[in-house]
């Protein structure tokens, strides 16, 4: 399941995800991103990752397909989680993202305000 965060504005889209993400929810999140991109050249995405998040294979494939075709449209990606494993994975992925012109950072849940400040900054 997902929830759009009320701090979302302009090119900054914030989502909280938890539990299972199915293809319908994935398509809804993709539509939200597309709406932002219809008004702005770039998307700054903040995702709070809750406990026990997983996606159906169909949803994961749709997400991967969308992101690989929209890399040029993503400016920033903030992942907010207390998972040490996911935090480490974000730090590794950030090295690749930097070469693609994407800022990517991991924030702990108690750093949410800092994550929003970073996501919304130019």
Q: Is residue 33 part of a domain?
A: yes
In a domain, 12, yes or no: no
Query: Model's pTM, two decimal places?
Result: 0.94
Domain range for residue 52? 27-76+92-122
Residue 65 is predicted with a pLDDT of 97
CA nearest neighbour of 112 among 44, 16, 21: 16
State how many domains the chain has.
1
Q: Where are the alpha helices (DSSP H) in the chain?
A: 23-39, 57-69, 84-99, 112-120
> Would 15 be classed as within a structural domain?
no
Residue 90 has pLDDT above 90, yes or no: yes
Quick one: pLDDT at residue 87? Answer: 95
Residues 7 and 111: their CA atoms lie apart, in Å, by: 15
Residue 103: inside a domain: yes
């Amino acid at each position: 399941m997902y929830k759009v965060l009320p701090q979302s504005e302009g090119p900054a889209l914030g989502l909280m995800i938890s539990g299972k993400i199915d293809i319908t929810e994935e398509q809804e999140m993709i539509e939200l991103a597309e709406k932002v991109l219809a008004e702005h050249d770039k998307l700054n995405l903040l995702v709070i990752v809750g406990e026990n998040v997983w996606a159906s294979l169909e949803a994961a494939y749709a997400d991967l397909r969308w992101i690989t075709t929209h890399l040029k449209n993503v400016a920033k990606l903030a992942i907010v989680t207390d998972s040490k494993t996911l935090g480490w994975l974000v730090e590794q992925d950030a090295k690749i993202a930097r070469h693609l012109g994407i800022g990517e950072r991991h924030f702990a849940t108690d750093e949410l305000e800092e994550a929003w400040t970073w996501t919304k900054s130019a």
